[in-house]
Chain A
């Protein structure tokens, strides 16, 4: 602990989450519980996850709907306070800070939202939307300077500075997401949390937004936490990928490793479902079963009801994350015991610099 305190901000990773948990109380109202004799119900949206994101890299987070991906995003930007665990931004714990304590950190930590149709105030002109962080953090106070900065930001996301005069509804989904990115960049952040920024967009537009995000990362040295349920998108943009299942990280590995040699049975199941021509070459099985109710998760390994390799140990004991030689971390008894047969090694395409 004392050692961590003396680590200079340049040695510490951009972001480190340790034992991060967020529980939600989803119990019925007090009176109903008393009368109907129901117990309190706790939803473990995020249940103890650890990861690190080095400066300038992209950490992809994948998983099915409801596995807690978005909650992780909200925890990091402070929309929710964690129930337990720490979030360190360059070695400084920012979990559960008050609004005023959080103020200088927010400037370095911004977020891009999923739905470009809901993330821009329909009554505001684009120039005011993009200028909001500039005004909020008092980065500039001269109206002409703010205006120039907004124009530059809009150009940076490949929009016309004159678009600032318009209202959000005059733009397409992809353009709105660009505005959203411009707003996130307005406070000159170092770290961007991207909560499924492309999942509401057409495939062709997705590629444009991803390319833009990669360009911006290179130009501005940004660090991304990139959340998506689309594995192809995550593979394209991420340096390291984490796979979430029911609030836990079941596997994390460098992107290439994860996609070529998936270890965890759940990761394999996900990879099997990618409908991508480049990723053919394996017999595709339908996704077996559904995600169990997270309020009453299965005992032991939460994946065991869907896992073809489950044993009695899997049904009783919660697996611990196990670091492997090639940088992967897998939480699976089967992998630990070496009883899961190696999957066919995949020929994954080299990552293109840009998507066409």
Chain B
């Protein structure tokens, strides 16, 4: 059919060859970068986030001290004020905490811990929640009922309690069956990420389920059915891109919640080891000294955390709009 137009068009085909199928390039093509450069607020937020990542990745070379090395700490240096205050020490620009750790170094090292646990658990919660929400909204029926009842049960407990529960069970299971002590090293991180991630999926699932149920009934989904697209492909390629908007916003807020949950768990003794304080741990240590005048222990990590959360939040806000073709 219609050979002539095909022949005719071949000479003036638009110059988009090679773009087809190149999903990654399409995702990061000109439009998104353009909208990034158009918004000064977003650029500042992007630069700030980048600084955090650089600090987290290269912290061991940048930080003046290694606060995780117990042998290098000197209790005589504890609770020193920042350099510009009476009694400040040039070796410790932002003062020291109760163990004599340099605050600046502790913040840099702590950011690494917080960022890693925060992002990892947000990604885990997001994957779990978006996946289950999509299935729940798309399949419906009994599947939907089961997933949503689990979500509601979990929602009726505070997230921190769920995280504590999962954390405790995992520690117990690992110790009994595998003989591994979670207090040591990387295992503590894994357990933390899993417990924070699993405790936070419900919000994503409920949001995505709602949007999925709306999108599922639209005619473009039926058109895909008529073409004979597999339902899983429809879910993935048609519905998912249309329900991600609110997810990014939830994720940026969840990042702050995850970092604070980690701090709480660490404070309760089931988080990162006390010798390797995260931002949250530093803040909770500082809380004890806030009223006795040593404000720097809690304020500096607090500002660091607030700025990080704000920057990520702004980035998430921008990304949501940038990914929506209607708002470009």
Residues of chain A whose beta carbon lies under 8 Å from any beta carbon of chain B = 77-79, 99, 102-103, 106-107, 109-111, 113-115, 118-124, 127, 131-133, 136-137, 143-144, 146-149, 151-152, 155-156, 161-162, 164-165, 167, 169, 180, 183, 187-188, 219-220
A110 contact set on B, CB distance < 8 A:
226-227
Chain A, residue nearest B225 (CB): A79
Q: Is the interface of A mostly helix, strand, loop or mixed?
A: helix
B24 contact set on A, CB distance < 8 A:
none
Chain A, residue nearest B231 (CB): A99
B291 at the interface (CB under 8 A from A): no
Residues of chain B whose beta carbon lies under 8 Å from any beta carbon of chain A = 1-2, 5-6, 8-10, 12-14, 16-18, 20-21, 218-220, 222-230, 238, 241-242, 324-326
B223 touches A151 (CB 8 A): no
B223 touches A155 (CB 8 A): no
A152 touches B223 (CB 8 A): no
**A79 CA to B222 CA, complexed, in Å:** 7
A114 touches B227 (CB 8 A): no
Chain B, residue nearest A111 (CB): B226
**A47 CA to B222 CA, complexed, in Å:** 23
CB A73 to nearest CB in B, in angstroms, measures: 10
Chain B, residue nearest A167 (CB): B325
CB-CB under 8 A for A121 and B242, given A106-B228, A136-B229, A220-B2: yes
A124 contact set on B, CB distance < 8 A:
241
CB B211 to nearest CB in A, in angstroms, measures: 13
CB-CB under 8 A for A143 and B18, given A123-B242, A152-B5, A219-B2: yes
A161 touches B14 (CB 8 A): yes
**A314 CA to B219 CA, complexed, in Å:** 39
10 pairs of residues in contact across A and B, judged by CB atoms under 8 Å: A99-B228, A119-B222, A122-B242, A123-B242, A136-B228, A137-B227, A148-B6, A161-B13, A180-B223, A220-B2
**A133 CA to B241 CA, complexed, in Å:** 19
- A106-B228, A161-B14 given; 17 more Cβ-contact pairs under 8 Å: A79-B222, A99-B230, A106-B227, A109-B226, A119-B222, A121-B220, A121-B238, A136-B229, A143-B17, A144-B13, A151-B13, A152-B5, A156-B2, A167-B325, A169-B326, A188-B1, A220-B2
**A37 CA to B116 CA, complexed, in Å:** 58
A77 contact set on B, CB distance < 8 A:
226
CB B93 to nearest CB in A, in angstroms, measures: 48
B227 contact set on A, CB distance < 8 A:
106, 110, 132-133, 136-137, 187
B13 contact set on A, CB distance < 8 A:
144, 147-148, 151, 161
A164 touches B325 (CB 8 A): no
CB B220 to nearest CB in A, in angstroms, measures: 4
**A122 CA to B13 CA, complexed, in Å:** 24
